[in-house]
């Protein structure tokens, strides 16, 4: 109601992206929407409600807290928790038929204990360590894991069998990723020998789906591409045949806007903001925008970022403050207080993209998006 900036999310752009992803994966592949990190900054609950209205009913999160939020908003959606689940959250997950990753014996035994106490089945996804060296069972442990599951099948349901690739977006990692693919194939052979039949085999993320299509099984976990972003420029180039131009295959969902809070006229030689990082090279007119690093606009964009006002680029002058930034509008006619300011998005044929932040700073797309605070209102547009 009184916020200093707002985010808009396009439902039609999402429909376009989902259509492309589903075509890429082919028939019989279930799409799981990865919405960790506040739906990559797009707003967890608003985003999943929009996705659900567009036919997406399976969501992967990292934490139990995220799963809890979605379950309250969409009781009928299927959920996977890929990260931490302590005893309390396991109790809640099993009680509510929420699926979760298991990547060590302690968690597997705890899931059995809680499921037997509740007299319900724990719906688990076994994660295999294939080279990410983060979480997952080693290949050498799988036979024991499978035997444990079979012995306790009254309370454990093997819903999924998964791994995660370490850098499928780049050819620099090709040897490592192919070694992972081979190890996961070995793990699947052991699974076949065990006679266990999980509902889903899954390893493909956005980058693997594009660069290693052989990893597409009967489920994919897609994060960044559903939001309209390529995993990196290299993946776009490989898909587009050495072209860096986004051909419209994916559409960005998000726009971020604010208003001109006030105008300030300064003289040549004046310093702007904290310290002495910017000195006016001429008499100037500055617009003050009520957005800063507390709102997810990185301090690393000081003296390098740009916004759009009245269809023109306005460069940042000085250091991005906690709650405000200053931009040069000397070259823009008739700027007024309360004029619209585009931080991300388009205005009068010009665009400030999330990718442009990567060019102007050291931020990745993922980093900028997930740093956008929860309390910026997200509005869903058609």
Residues tagged active-site: 36, 274
Which parts of the chain are beta strand (E)?
A: 5-10, 30-34, 58-61, 78-81, 99-102, 122-127, 156-162, 200-202, 219-222, 254-259, 262-266, 284-289, 306-309, 312-315, 325-328, 340-347, 350-352, 378-381
CA distance 357 to 352: 8
Q: CB within 8 A of 113, min separation 6: which ones?
A: none
- Picking from 202, 115, 192, 130, the residue whose alpha carbon sits closest to that of residue 159 is 202
Q: Which tokens belong to 154?
A: 């009254």
Say if residues 139 and 128 touch (Cβ distance below 8 Å). Answer: yes
**Greatest pairwise CA separation for the chain in angstroms:** 79
Concatenated DSSP letters of 46-63: HHHHHHHHTT--EEEESS
Helix (H, G, I), strand (E, B) or coil at 343: strand
132 is in an annotated binding site: no
CA distance 224 to 343: 20
* Number of C-beta neighbours around residue 26 at 10 A: 9
Annotated binding site for substrate: 134, 322
- Residues that constitute the known binding site: 134, 322
């Amino acid at each position: 109601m009184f916020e200093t900036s707002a985010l808009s999310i396009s439902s039609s752009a999402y429909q376009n992206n989902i259509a492309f992803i589903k075509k890429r994966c082919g028939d019989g592949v279930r799409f799981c929407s990865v919405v960790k990190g506040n739906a990559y900054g797009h707003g967890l609950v608003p985003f999943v409600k929009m996705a659900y209205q567009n036919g997406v009913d399976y969501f992967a999160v990292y934490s139990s807290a995220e799963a809890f939020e979605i379950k309250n908003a969409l009781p009928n959606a299927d959920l996977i928790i890929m990260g931490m689940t302590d005893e309390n959250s396991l109790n809640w997950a099993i009680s509510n038929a929420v699926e979760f990753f298991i990547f060590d014996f302690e968690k597997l035994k705890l899931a059995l204990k809680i499921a037997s106490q509740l007299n319900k089945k724990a719906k688990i996804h076994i994660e295999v360590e294939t080279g990410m060296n983060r979480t997952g069972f080693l290949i050498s442990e799988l036979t024991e894991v499978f035997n444990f599951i079979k012995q306790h099948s009254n309370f454990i349901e093997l819903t999924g069998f998964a791994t995660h690739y370490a850098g499928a977006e780049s050819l620099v990692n090709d040897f490592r990723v192919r070694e992972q693919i081979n190890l996961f194939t070995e793990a699947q052979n052991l699974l076949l020998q065990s006679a266990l039949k999980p509902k889903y085999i899954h390893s493909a993320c956005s980058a693997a789906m594009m660069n290693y299509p052989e990893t597409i099984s009967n489920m994919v976990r897609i994060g960044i591409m559903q939001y309209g972003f390529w995993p990196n420029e290299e993946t776009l180039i490989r898909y587009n045949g050495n072209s860096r131009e986004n051909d419209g295959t994916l559409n960005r969902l998000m726009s971020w806007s604010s208003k001109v809070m006030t105008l300030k006229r300064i003289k040549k030689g004046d310093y702007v903001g904290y310290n002495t990082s910017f000195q006016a090279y001429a008499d100037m007119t500055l617009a003050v925008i009520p957005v800063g690093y507390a709102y997810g606009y990185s301090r690393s964009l000081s003296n390098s970022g740009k916004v759009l006002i009245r269809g023109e680029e306005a460069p940042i002058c000085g250091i991005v403050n906690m709650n405000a930034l200053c931009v040069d509008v000397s070259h823009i006619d008739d700027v007024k207080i309360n004029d619209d300011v585009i931080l991300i998005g388009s205005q009068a044929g010009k665009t400030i993209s999330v990718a442009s932040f990567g060019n102007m700073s050291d931020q990745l797309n993922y980093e900028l998006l997930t740093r956008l605070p929860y309390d910026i209102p997200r509005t869903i547009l058609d």
